[in-house]
Amino acid sequence: MPVELDDSSTVSGDASVSSTGNQNPPPKSAGKKKRNLPGMPDPDSEVIALSPKTLMATNRFVCEICSKGFQRDQNLQLHRRGHNLPWKLRQRSSKEVRKKVYVCPVSGCVHHDPSRALGDLTGIKKHFCRKHGEKKYKCEKCSKSYAVQSDWKAHSKICGTKEYRCDCGTLFSRRDSFITHRAFCEVLAEESAKNNHTQSNKLYPETVIRKNLPEPELKSPAAVDSPPSVALVPAPAVSVEPEPEPEPEPEPEPEPQPANIASSSVLPIPDSSESPENNTLEVVMEEAPRTIGLNGSNDHSNNNKSLYAGLFASSSSTASPSLYASSTPSSSRYPPSSSMEPISLCLSTTSPSLFGATIQDPPPHFLTPMSLPPPQPAISATALLQKAAQMGSTGSGGSLLRGLGIVSSTSSPMELSSHDAGFGLGLGLPCSSGTGLKELMMGNSSVFDPKQTTLDFLGLGRAAGNNPGGGGGGGLSSALWGGGSGMDVFGSGELSGKDIGRRSS
Amino acid sequence: MNKAMILNPTRPVWPGFSSSKSLCGDASCMEQLLLHCANAIESNDATLTQQTIWVINNLASSDGDSTQRLASSFLRALISRAATKSPAFSFLSAASASRETLHRFSVMELASFVDLTPWHRFGFIAANAAILDAVKGYSSVHIVDLSLTHCMQIPTLIDSMATQLIDKEQPPPLLRLTVVLAESPPPPLLGISYEELGLKLVSFATTRNIAMEFRIIYSSYSDGLSSLTEQLRLDPLVSNEALVVNCHMMLHYIPHETISSSRSSFLKELRDLNPTMVTLIEEDADFTSSNFISRLRSLFNYMWIPYDTADTFLTCGSEQRQWYEADVGWRIANVVAKEGAERVERLEPKRRWFERMRDAEFTGVGFGEAVEREVKAMLEEHAGGWGMKSDVDDSDDVERFVLTWKGHSVVFASAWVPMSRVDGCSYIEALEIG
- Look at A355 and B208 and tell me if their CB atoms are within 8 Å: yes
**Are the CB atoms for A401 and A469 separated by under 8 Å?**
no
**Of A225, A266, A208, A199, which is closest to residue A425 (Cα–Cα)?**
A208
**Are the CB atoms for A499 and A404 separated by under 8 Å?**
yes
Please name the member of B171, B173, B200 whose beta carbon is closest to the beta carbon of A431: B200
B118 touches chain A (CB under 8 A): no
Q: What is the mean pLDDT of residues A343-366?
A: 39
Angle (CA) B218-B221-B223 rounded to 5° is 95
Angle (CA) B373-B379-B380 rounded to 5° is 90
Residues 171-200 in B contacting A (C-alpha not used; CB under 8 Å): 171-174, 176, 181, 183-185, 189-196, 198-200
**Are the CB atoms for A327 and A347 separated by under 8 Å?**
yes
The pLDDT of residue A157: 74
Closest Cα of chain A to B196: distance in Å? 6
Q: Which of A124-133, A342-351, B174-183 has the lowest mean pLDDT?
A: A342-351
**Are the CB atoms for B52 and B318 separated by under 8 Å?**
no
- Look at A214 and B238 and tell me if their CB atoms are within 8 Å: no
Q: Is the peptide bond before A364 cis (omega within 30 degrees of 0)?
A: no
Question: If you ran DSSP here, which 8-state letter would residue A7 be given?
Answer: T
- How many CB pairs below 8 Å do chains A and B form together? 290
* Cβ-proximal residues to B189 (8 Å cutoff; 6+ apart), any chain: A493, A494, B99, B102, B103, B104, B105
Give me the residues paired with residue B386 across strands: B405
- Which three-class secondary structure state does DSSP give residue A497? helix
Tell which wins on pLDDT, A473 or B169.
B169
**Are the CB atoms for A429 and A193 separated by under 8 Å?**
yes
One-letter amino acid for residue A240 of the chain: V
What is the share, in percent, of chain B residues with pLDDT greater than 70? 88
Q: Which residue of B has its CA nearest to A116?
A: B407
A225-239, A393-407, B67-81: which is most confident: B67-81
- Look at A405 and B100 and tell me if their CB atoms are within 8 Å: yes
Q: Which residue of B has its CA nearest to A158?
A: B381
- Look at A233 and B140 and tell me if their CB atoms are within 8 Å: yes
DSSP B4-35: ---SSPPPPSSTT----TTTT-SHHHHHHHHH
The pLDDT of residue B61: 86
Mean pLDDT score of chain A, rounded to an integer? Answer: 52
Q: What is the mean pLDDT of residues B91-95?
A: 68
**Of A483, A488, A476, A298, which is closest to residue A403 (Cα–Cα)?**
A488
Q: What is the mean pLDDT of residues B44-48?
A: 89
Q: Which chain B positions have a beta carbon within 8 Å of A235's beta carbon?
A: 139-140, 238-240
Domain with CATH 3.40.50.150 in chain B: 105-285+347-433
Going by pLDDT thresholds of 50, 70 and 90, the confidence category of residue A60 is confident
* pLDDT tens, position by position, B380-401: 888 778 999 998 877 777 889 9
- Look at A491 and B121 and tell me if their CB atoms are within 8 Å: no
- Look at A22 and B103 and tell me if their CB atoms are within 8 Å: no
What is the share, in percent, of chain A residues with pLDDT greater than 90? 1
- Look at A347 and B240 and tell me if their CB atoms are within 8 Å: no
- Look at A184 and B111 and tell me if their CB atoms are within 8 Å: yes
Helix (H) or strand (E) holding A471: helix A470-480
Please name the member of A232, A266, A496 whose beta carbon is closest to the beta carbon of B171: A232
Could you give phi then psi for residue A165, rounded to 5 degrees?
-115, 125
The pLDDT of residue B91: 72
One-letter amino acid for residue A209 of the chain: I
Closest Cα of chain B to A87: distance in Å? 45
The pLDDT of residue A463: 41
Q: Is the pLDDT of residue B352 over 60?
A: yes
Q: Which residue of A has its CA nearest to B100?
A: A405
- Architecture of the domain whose range is B105-285+347-433: 3-Layer(aba) Sandwich (3.40)
Q: Which residue of A has its CA nearest to B407?
A: A21
Q: Please report, to the nearest 10 degrees, the dihedral formed by the alpha carbons of residues B390, B393, B396, B401 taken in order.
A: -30
Closest Cα of chain B to A455: distance in Å? 18
Q: Which chain B positions have a beta carbon within 8 Å of A229's beta carbon?
A: 171-174, 210-211
The pLDDT of residue A262: 41
- Look at B106 and A411 and tell me if their CB atoms are within 8 Å: yes
Q: Which residue of A has its CA nearest to B118?
A: A177
- Look at B387 and A366 and tell me if their CB atoms are within 8 Å: no
**Are the CB atoms for A34 and A2 separated by under 8 Å?**
yes
* pLDDT tens, position by position, A128-186: 887 777 777 877 766 566 777 887 887 777 766 667 888 888 888 888 999 999 898 87
* pLDDT tens, position by position, B286-316: 999 989 999 999 999 999 999 998 887 766 6
The pLDDT of residue B87: 78
Residues 382-421 in B contacting A (C-alpha not used; CB under 8 Å): 384-389, 404-408
Which conformational region is residue B346 in: left (phi greater than 0), alpha (psi within -120 to 50 degrees), or beta? beta
- Look at B108 and A186 and tell me if their CB atoms are within 8 Å: yes
Rounded Cα distance between A50 and A56, Å, is: 9
Rounded Cα distance between B206 and B197, Å, is: 14
The pLDDT of residue B165: 75
Q: Which chain B positions have a beta carbon within 8 Å of A493's beta carbon?
A: 104, 181, 185, 189-194
Q: Which chain A positions have a beta carbon within 8 Å of B191's beta carbon?
A: 405-406, 408, 442, 493
Q: Which chain B positions have a beta carbon within 8 Å of A17's beta carbon?
A: none
One-letter amino acid for residue A153 of the chain: K
Q: Which chain B positions have a beta carbon within 8 Å of A189's beta carbon?
A: 200, 203
Rounded Cα distance between B163 and A354, Å, is: 9
Rounded Cα distance between B111 and A177, Å, is: 8
ipTM: 0.85
B119 touches chain A (CB under 8 A): no
Radius of gyration of chain A (CA): 33
